[in-house]
């Protein structure tokens, strides 16, 4: 199939391009990118893309899957559909499933499962097309590539190292537990063991003794709302310890879920000193601060918690200049029953795959705080670099791994407009501006 996208705004952080072009796509490859394309075949599908944005495919560094173990929250099929509907062409799943992704057999099982889900999705789409039944949400024309993080410790228990070499051979994208590892001797051993394997390793630095039973960032808002506080030092002391280990051993490390202004300063200093580190924050930490918790909406119970205004400003600046390399979604689906509790009792986390791009575009790009290239880089090419991967430029003869986005289309966040099985988001029931039209993988 050959498609001509006419006068689409191309945002390509690889080539540093932001401008209007005609783009010709055929057989999964970009054939031409130029100001005007007129010489096309009779079978070419022409699409007027004025007002639309074509960018390199979005990449999510880490998110949670309900399957296996918690299929009522999210199945692999619903997760991949939600990722596609949100513009993501690659998604990386954390190993905290049940059972955990801590052995090669489960890695192979999940990789095989994705193939089956793709066939099921195509069959469902063909049936709907035959009976002329419109999909309940954005039609999914392609599945994102699925990558799996391998667990560092057995059953994500934090005490015994997995067979890292076997998991690496099985094809995991890298290693993380997705939760704090407080045994620094174990962390040191992991860094030493992983050096020859050449796989990324990601840590979430957080001192759980300092966190204690806290549920929101320490400060005047925590006092006002009557919620147990978490000091910023719970994160910063753990990051400082991690940076010391990296300086000593030299193994590259990715620091997950950065949420404080002091953390940004520590990471900036470490990068200036030449330490081999990358870092990410999550999309909600860029948009909301502690004042939002006034609603006691349990989808605002996050771990790490939302920061104060200074934290949000530092994180945004860090992303813009590259101190914080990437924006992760950290999609964490939970059932309605799990989230309908008191704020402090509800599990921490919120969905985000279908919401992140529209909301980040609306509140960061349309306000002029970020350029389009700055946001797209943090959601696309930079996450790939954190994983040792590359993103192809939007250029002739390159694979078509692309996201088509309409920044003006409005839609309501409700059950029938979402592919994810869960609805734990503070934006549920609200009208949003910006919607993904299609992805190519």
Peptide bond into 75 cis (omega under 30): no
Half-sphere exposure of 34 (CA within 13 A, CB side): 7
Sign of CA pseudo-dihedral 147, 281, 78, 156? positive
User: In this structure, what are the phi and psi dihedrals at residue 337, rounded to the nearest 5 degrees?
Assistant: -65, -35
Read off the DSSP letter of residue 135: P
* CA-only gyration radius of the chain, Å: 21
Greatest CA separation for the chain: 67
Handedness of CA 349, 354, 359, 360 (dihedral sign): positive
The token pair that represents 86 in the structure block: 């949100």
Distance of CA 399 to the CA centre of its chain: 22
Task: Tell me if 159 sits within 8 A of 106, measured CB to CB.
Answer: no
Give the tokens for residue 194. Answer: 């992983």
Q: Which residues are catalytic?
A: 330
**3-state DSSP assignment of residue 45:** strand
Nearest to 403 by CA among 371, 357, 349: 357
Number of separate helices (H) and strands (E) present in the chain: 14, 17
CA gap 107, 120 in Å, rounded: 20
* Segment (H or E) for 146: strand 145-150
């Amino acid at each position: 199939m050959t498609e001509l996208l006419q006068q689409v705004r191309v945002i390509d952080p690889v080539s540093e391009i932001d401008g209007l072009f005609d783009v010709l796509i055929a057989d999964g490859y970009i054939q031409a990118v130029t100001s005007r394309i007129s010489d096309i075949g009779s079978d070419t599908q022409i699409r007027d893309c004025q007002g639309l944005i074509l960018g390199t495919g979005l990449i999510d560094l880490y998110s949670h899957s309900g399957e296996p173990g918690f299929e009522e929250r999210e199945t692999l099929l619903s997760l991949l559909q939600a990722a596609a509907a949100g513009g993501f062409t690659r998604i990386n799943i954390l190993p905290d499933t049940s059972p955990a992704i801590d052995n090669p057999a489960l890695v192979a099982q999940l990789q095989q499962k994705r193939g089956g889900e793709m066939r099921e999705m195509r069959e469902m789409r063909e049936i709907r097309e035959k009976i002329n039944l419109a999909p309940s949400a954005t039609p999914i024309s392609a599945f994102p590539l699925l990558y799996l993080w391998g667990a560092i410790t057995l059953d994500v228990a934090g005490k015994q190292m997995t067979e890292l070499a076997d998991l690496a051979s099985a094809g995991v994208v890298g290693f993380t537990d997705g939760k704090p590892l407080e045994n620094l001797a174990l962390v040191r051993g992991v860094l030493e063991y992983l050096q020859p394997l050449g796989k990324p390793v990601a840590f979430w630095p957080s001192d759980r003794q300092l966190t204690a039973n806290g549920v929101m960032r320490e400060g005047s808002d925590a006092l006002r709302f009557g919620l147990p506080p978490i000091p910023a030092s719970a994160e910063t002391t753990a990051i400082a310890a991690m940076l010391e280990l990296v300086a000593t051993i030299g193994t590259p490390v990715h620091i997950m879920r950065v949420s404080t202004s002091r953390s940004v300063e520590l990471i900036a200093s470490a990068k200036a000193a030449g330490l081999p580190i990358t870092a990410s924050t999550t999309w909600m930490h860029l948009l909301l601060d502690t004042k939002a918790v006034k609603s006691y909406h349990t989808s605002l119970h996050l771990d790490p918690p939302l920061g104060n205004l200074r934290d949000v400003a530092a994180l945004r600046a860090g992303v813009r200049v590259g101190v914080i390399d990437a924006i992760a979604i950290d999609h964490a689906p939970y059932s309605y029953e799990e989230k309908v509790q008191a704020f402090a009792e509800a599990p921490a986390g919120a969905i985000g795959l279908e919401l992140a791009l529209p909301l980040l575009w609306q509140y960061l790009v349309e306000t002029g705080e970020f350029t389009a290239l700055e946001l797209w880089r943090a959601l696309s090419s930079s996450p790939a670099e954190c994983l040792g991967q590359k993103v192809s430029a939007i250029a002739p003869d390159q694979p078509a791994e692309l996201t088509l986005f309409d920044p003006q289309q409005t839609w309501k966040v409700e059950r029938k407009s979402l592919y994810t099985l869960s609805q734990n988001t503070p934006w549920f029931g609200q009208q949003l501006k910006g919607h993904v039209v299609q992805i190519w993988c």
